[in-house]
Structures are given as C-alpha cells and as structure tokens.
Amino acid sequence: MAVRVTAMSEAFEARVDALVEVRLARQAVLTREEPLVLWAIIAEHALRSTSETPGVMDEQLWRLLAMGKRANVNIQVLRSDAPPHVGQTGTFSLLGFQHADLDVVHTEALTSALYVEERDKVATYRDAWQRLTSAALSVEASAELITEIRKTST
C-alpha cells in the first residue's frame, strides 16, 4: 500500500476544501461587473512547483495568463535570481481603498491571519511593495515567462 506524504500539516490538510472555497470566492471579485483591482507579485519558484496530479500546474499557469489579460489584473514575476529583497521575509497583501485612507495589510500564517492597520506600519509595507514591483519583471515580461514555463512543464 502506498502512503501519500505531503509537506502540509494534518490540520491544514483537513481544511483544504474550505480554504479552496474561500479562495475561489475571493477570486470571483475579479470578474464581477465592477471588479476589484489586483496587482500580484509571484515568486518564480512558485510557478515551477510540481504536483502529483498531471496537468494541475498547466491549468494554474493558464489561469494566471488568462486573468492577467484582464484590465483590472496585473501579474509580475519576481525571478529566482533576483537580488535579495524584502519579499524573502514572507508574504503579505496590501489592501487599498481609493476613497479613504484606510489601507490594511493582511498576512497569513499556518493557523491565523494578521491585519495591520497602523499607518506607520502600513507605510512600511507600502514601501516594501514598491520595491518589489521595481525588482520584479514587467507585466509583459512576466506573461512571457509564465508562457515559457507552461510550455516546458507540459
């Protein structure tokens, strides 16, 4: 009998379906009539991940390319050979609000999430975001790299 081993904890694996459902609901705001704007920076190594299920990465890369064509979605890739950068300290989301100074930073951990609202701390994350967008490939070059990775992974 083969035993399936993953790097995920049992607690995380038990919640995978619920987490997928939440993330799909989050994605729906990008395609609604008045969509939200998303600017994502993705580490190259995440695009080169493998899956034990054939075709999963191909589908994910195709979805990134398709979503990246939308006017409200910008995707940049941070190359694996980029010089040291603030993104190596962990992931974060900067949630901005156009009509108010209410920006919030969201970070996720294995068992919890943190929301940062203090202006000085949000400003630190905003600066980090700007540095990451400068260090990453352009949106166009990122789409080209994702297409290249997709071709070589199939």
Evaluate if residue 26 carries a pLDDT over 90: no
For the segment 133-145, what is each residue's pLDDT rounded down to a tens digit? 999 999 999 999 9
Token match 């949630």: residue? 95
Percent of the chain with pLDDT over 90: 48
Look at residue 76 in the predicted model and tell me its pLDDT: 97
Domain boundaries, the chain: 10-153
pLDDT tens digits along 55-100: 788 899 999 999 999 999 999 999 998 877 777 778 899 988 877 7
Backbone φ and ψ of 130, nearest 5° = -65, -40
CB 78: neighbour CB atoms within 10 A? 21
Within a 10 A sphere around the Cβ of 137, how many other Cβ atoms?
Answer: 19
Q: How far apart are CA 84 and CA 114, in angstroms?
A: 25
**Tokens encoding 131:** 């540095």
